[in-house]
Amino acid sequence: MSGAFKTGIYRNLLREYGYSQKEVDKKLEEVFQTIFYGPEDERFYHKAGEDMGYLEDTGNHDVRTEGMSYGMMVCVQLDKKEEFDRIWKWVRTYMWIQEGPGYHYFAWSCQKDGTRNSDGPAPDGEEFFAMALFFASHRWGDGEGIFAYSREAKNILRECIHKGEEGHSGEPMWNRDNKLIKFIPGVEFTDPSYHLPHFYELFALWADENDRDFWRQAAEASREYLHLACHPDTGLSAEYADYDGQPHTGHVEQFGRHDWYYSDAYRTMANIGLDWLWFEKDEWQREIADIFQKFYCVQQKDCWDGVFLIDGTRLEEKALHPVAVIAVNAQASLAADGVYSKECVEKFWDTPLRKGSRRYYDNFLYIFALIALSGNYRIW
């Protein structure tokens, strides 16, 4: 392995492209403050009682494991322990499933008062919870009870892969044969944006000892899978895809259409960029990031808000999250080394946070890109 994991050096692309450290630090703090403590029409973090807090999906008016786990990752990266602990306590109070097939999973959607909208989990939440908790343990130290962060992370990962075995009722979140993460337990297709090999490399160091080989294999399997899921001519991936990487066209009545490059899928290239920054294990990641940026900067230079099939065919729809598109194109620069890298970063820098009802998803991808491009998305 190389990359930041080995060297301890995290590229600050914003500095490399001419922005001063003072400008970068100021922007990062302003973005955090807006999301967590800004005006009511801009923030989406809210305190709850004396010691809890939640992040609202402002487009759907609920609280999701996606956003709560993202909030925890933002907080541990920016050394915001009070907010981290508030979010985690809300999660463990309202989202944690305490019995039955979902034991030690988290209900993926709740109302703002904690009432559950669903009793089922979404695996992207669990993997982000586990990673944020390990980082919290290493950065701040383990506390008592639910704040024994590393123990909580191990408990989550144990259930994710052992459910269905003796003593573990329910369905696992990973297919134990091909080592690929599922869209939800109980189905046999996946979501390319859920694949986080850079997390699995670390789970292989810190999870239960008898599971570490599984996580090493999962990291390798996910990197190989992304070769299949990302179109070689555009870099685009579908929201949902089969295990062969092809867009998943089933389950439309249950979940709606997800065989296109649309909201979920935006995260895929951002994840590839971060994996390259941390580990530099797959040269293909640099190539596909270049192809991806060329697709937007040349082939679709006037249509960044479009919706596409993964081969680049443009559809009638408009992107629901156009700021997120700009953010992930910039984060792709962590891997890309081509002529469009600086252009994508500058476009991102000049783009403000989104306001309005759909700001939640856009602005999470925005702050993740800002943290990563400033050299602050680190392995703790």
Q: Where are the domains of the chain?
A: 1-42+223-380, 44-173
Please say if 57 is a catalytic residue.
Answer: no
Written as tens digits, the pLDDT of the chain (380 aa) is: 589 999 999 999 999 999 999 999 999 999 999 999 999 999 999 999 999 999 999 999 999 999 999 999 999 999 999 999 999 999 999 999 998 888 899 999 999 999 999 999 999 999 999 999 999 999 999 999 999 999 999 999 999 999 988 777 899 999 999 999 999 999 999 999 999 999 999 999 999 999 999 999 999 999 999 999 999 999 999 999 999 999 999 998 888 999 999 999 999 999 999 999 999 999 999 999 999 999 999 999 999 999 999 999 999 999 999 999 999 999 999 999 889 999 999 999 999 999 999 999 999 999 999 999 999 999 99
pLDDT of residue 1: 53
pLDDT of residue 167: 72
319 within 8 A of 365, measured Cβ to Cβ: no
How far is residue 289's CA from residue 259's CA, in Å, rounded to a whole number?
21
Using a cut of 0.95, tell me whether the model's pTM lies above it. yes
**Sequence-ordered strand ranges (E) for the chain:** 45-48, 52-57, 62-64, 109-110, 306-308, 314-318
Q: Which two tokens stand for residue 89?
A: 């306590």
pLDDT of residue 363: 98
By DSSP bridging, strand 306-308 and strand 314-318 are antiparallel
Residues 6+ apart with CB under 8 A from 239: 191, 192, 193, 258, 259, 260, 261, 262, 263, 264, 265
pLDDT of residue 162: 95
Could you say which of 152, 191, 201, 264 is catalytic?
A: 264
How far is residue 244's CA from residue 225's CA, in Å, rounded to a whole number?
8
For 148, list phi and psi in degrees, rounded to 5: -80, 75
> 338: closest CA among 273, 259, 248, 256?
273
* DSSP structure class, residue 52: E
How far is residue 300's CA from residue 172's CA, in Å, rounded to a whole number?
40
pLDDT of residue 2: 82
pLDDT of residue 100: 85
pLDDT of residue 378: 98
> 179: closest CA among 153, 198, 160?
160
160 within 8 A of 153, measured Cβ to Cβ: no
Could you say which of 57, 66, 126, 211 is catalytic?
A: 66
Please say if 66 is a catalytic residue.
Answer: yes
End-to-end CA distance of the chain: 17
Q: Which two tokens stand for residue 239?
A: 């929201």
290 within 8 A of 298, measured Cβ to Cβ: no
What is the dotted CATH code of the domain comprising 1-42+223-380? 1.50.10.10
* DSSP structure class, residue 94: I
> Does domain 44-173 match CATH 1.10.10.10?
no
By DSSP bridging, strand 306-308 and strand 62-64 are unpaired
pLDDT of residue 338: 86
Say yes or no: do domains 1-42+223-380 and 44-173 share a fold.
yes
How far is residue 368's CA from residue 374's CA, in Å, rounded to a whole number?
10
